[in-house]
Amino acid sequence: MNVTVLDRSPDRSAQSHMGFIDCDVHPYVKGPNDFDPFLSKRWLEHKQTIGGRGRQGLAKTSMYPRMSPGNGMRMDAWTDTGGHPGSDLPKMREQLLDLFDVAYGLLAPLVGGGPGERNVEFGSAMATAVNEWQLAHWCDPDPRLLGAIQINIEHTEAAIAEIEKRAGDRRFAQVNIPPRGLEPLGRRRYWPILQACAANGFPVSLHLGGTSGHASTGGGWPSFYHEEHPSYVQTMQTLVTSLVCEGVFEQIPNLKVVLVEGGFAWLPSLCWRLDKHWKRLKAEVPHLKRSPSEYVHEHIWVTTQPIEEPERPQDMLSTLEWIGPDKVMFSTDYPHWDQDDPRYAFKIPLPDDWKRKIYRDNAKALYNL
């Protein structure tokens, strides 16, 4: 049985978390009309009279509703006036940005529905609106917050146009792509978009969540949210495997991919398995010039939350070593219910140089901050 890991001996030496870079911060809307000023009249009317067409069977809720109010929010993040967690910049400053003197917060806006919209023209318009909304409501009022470009990857031309439009705008750090798509991300039809991300200097961030309409596990739909939560790991494994095996990193050598909120302890064992079979199945994938793990080490970054809590806390050090402390970046997932607190997330002291890398330097280098 696993023992419970507590914060009794957390790593608080020298307050090393202070001034960290948070690689997963969720801004939320104040109301349903927040995006309206950023929609053309044509799409505003569409939104008001027709509305969204998601890829799931339920409307106005998620496939696996969470237990805390607001569909899985940290309960102390509601504002005094009942404002939704993540919707209020002063509250975000109080609970995150100012509390920890956060150097940069990378936004992951899971709002607007653009990336998963079936009507891809409307989805692209919503994605653009959410990009403008990030700038107006978050990045401009607080330059510590960096946007993530939203796109709908089923509309290649619009997606590329949006990426190119934002190129050179330092308020955006990366391009967000939902990890659950219609097909695995490494498929050839997504290459032009991935190419545009790399060509314009944007890492691709894959933040878990959402639904593609496919069952969330390879074995069908789970019954419980407790099952759904680890199924996100399967999604991440599928993406890494697809990107590697399809030869995406051979085709686009400067592509950088960040896996957000998928944890990371599973990555080494996936690499071991991929490497083992690559030796035997090379003839099937002759385009792979190097071992799968080499592509992973070179092209993939991971964020920490929800951090794994191994039975023997010191095993975390081995895990980090296998992935490479250069590839791990701290994230809180504020204000979601399963967020990590930078003071207590690691249950063992990290070597000083690892701390610097994980809390700050890796993100600084990746995003050119």
Residues of this chain that interact with another protein (CB under 8 A) are 3-4, 6-8, 67-68, 74-76, 337-341, 343-345
- Cβ distance 28 to 86 under 8 Å? yes
Report the nearest approach of another protein to the CB of residue 16 (Å). Answer: 17
Handedness of CA 106, 110, 113, 115 (dihedral sign): positive
Report the nearest approach of another protein to the CB of residue 338 (Å). Answer: 6
- Cβ distance 350 to 314 under 8 Å? no
- Residues paired with residue 25 on neighbouring β-strands, in sequence order: 107, 334
Report the nearest approach of another protein to the CB of residue 9 (Å). Answer: 12
CA separation for the pair 8, 21 (Å, rounded): 25
> Which CB, 97 or 173, lies closer to another protein?
97
Report the nearest approach of another protein to the CB of residue 6 (Å). Answer: 6
CA separation for the pair 332, 334 (Å, rounded): 5
Burial classification of residue 126, based on how many CB atoms lie within 10 Å of its CB (0-12 exposed, 13-18 middle, 19 or more buried):
buried
Report the nearest approach of another protein to the CB of residue 37 (Å). Answer: 33
Coil, helix or strand for 332? coil
- Cβ distance 239 to 206 under 8 Å? yes
> Which CB, 24 or 34, lies closer to another protein?
24
> Which CB, 54 or 306, lies closer to another protein?
306
> Which CB, 134 or 339, lies closer to another protein?
339
For 278, the token pair is: 């690559």
> Which CB, 44 or 348, lies closer to another protein?
348
